[in-house]
Amino acid sequence: MVLEVKDVNVEINQTKLLEDISFEMESGTVLALVGHNGAGKSTLIKSLLGILEKSAGQIIINEEYNQDNSFLTFKQMVSYLPEEPLLLTELTVMQHFQLYGMSYELPENVLKKRIDRYVKGFELEDKLNEYPESLSKGMRQKVQTICALLPDTSLLLIDEPFMGLDIYAMDYLEKLIKEKAEKGTSILLTSHQLERIKDIADHFIMLQHGKIQSHGPIDEFETIQRRTADD
């Protein structure tokens, strides 16, 4: 198993944001995390990353690395695309890519090839020496997306991957996500774009008020969606 999540609970100021969350991910699978606004999707992603501290439970990567006691190794095995871009005002677009390449110890030639390919695919060729503030919102999102896709990690966490992207960029990202999964990366993503998710994901987890309300193979998702809509 690439990821094992066991009975994870998250509390802030005595409010339970996540309750007894358990699931597993095999290598090369795509898991969609769905649910209404405020259901706990981003909270779960942040607790997987260790940005939010859990009050109980275990998070283990590659059967060996527990978030609680191998945090640095754990971090190297995870890449994250946040809901809102977190770019640094002091760095150009290219410097962001180099920073990510270095942090994840990507060989120089691999990094260069990947940057060239993704930059072309997301149509950012003429923005490499720009700073984030001179980019449009969608362009900033593209830069952040490339940063998250550059490393070869066991696990890729993506919060709202398609937010702010135009239709071409969405299609291109969908292709890259599928490609990454085929190469063995496990991908956990949240999205409200249910039609697109059905195309990408193998499994789904539906969160409601911080609990897993249902889960299963993605082909079962439609039935559940219909049933919930009828309630």
Ligand X SMILES: Nc1ncnc2c1ncn2[C@@H]1O[C@H](COP(=O)(O)OP(=O)(O)OP(=O)(O)O)[C@@H](O)[C@H]1O
Binds ligand X by CB under 6 A, chosen from 42, 145, 153, 154: 42
Stretch that binds ligand X, among 37-45, 62-70, 99-107, 121-129 (CB under 6 A): 37-45
As a whole number of Å, the CA-based R_g of the chain is 18
- Least Å distance, CB 56 to ligand X, is 17
Task: Name the minimum Å distance from CB 17 to ligand X.
Answer: 4
Q: Which residue in 1, 7, 12, 217 binds ligand X (CB under 6 A)? A: 12
| C-alpha to C-alpha distance for 19 and 192, rounded to whole angstroms | 22
Stretch of residues binding ligand X (CB under 6 A), selected from 32-40, 84-92, 113-121, 140-148: 32-40
Cβ(100)–Cβ(147) under 8 Å?
Answer: yes
d(CA 24, CA 42): 18
Single residue of 5, 17, 25, 143 touching ligand X by CB under 6 A: 17
Which tokens hold the place of 78? Answer: 């995870």
Judged by beta carbon, residue 38 or residue 184, the one nearer ligand X is: 38
What is the C-alpha to C-alpha distance for residues 73 and 52, in angstroms, rounded to an integer?
Answer: 18
Give the per-residue contact string, 43-82, with ligand X (x = CB under 6 A; - = no): x---------------------------------------
SS3 60: strand
The enclosing H or E element of 16 equals: strand 15-25
Distance in angstroms (rounded) separating the CA atoms of residues 87 and 147:
10
Nearer to ligand X, 186 or 190 (CB): 190
Q: Residue 61 or residue 207: which is nearer to ligand X going by CB?
A: 207
Spatial CB neighbours of 221, under 8 Å, sequence gap ≥ 6:
32, 34, 194, 198, 204
Q: Indicate whether 39 belongs to the interface with ligand X (CB under 6 A).
A: yes
In the list 7, 38, 102, 183, the residue contacting ligand X (rule: CB under 6 A) is 38
Query: What value, to the nearest 5°, has the Cα angle with vertex 64 and ends 3 and 27?
Result: 35
* Interacting residue with ligand X among 5, 21, 30, 41 (CB under 6 A): 41
Please pick, from the candidates 35, 85, 101, 161, the single residue that binds ligand X as defined by CB under 6 A: 35
- 37 binding ligand X? (CB under 6 A): yes
Spatial CB neighbours of 56, under 8 Å, sequence gap ≥ 6: 7, 8, 9
Closest CB 158 distance from ligand X, rounded Å: 12
- Token pair, residue 210, equals 């911080």
**Cβ 42 to ligand X, closest distance in Å?**
3
Q: Where on the chain is the footprint of ligand X (CB under 6 A)? A: 12, 17, 35, 37-43
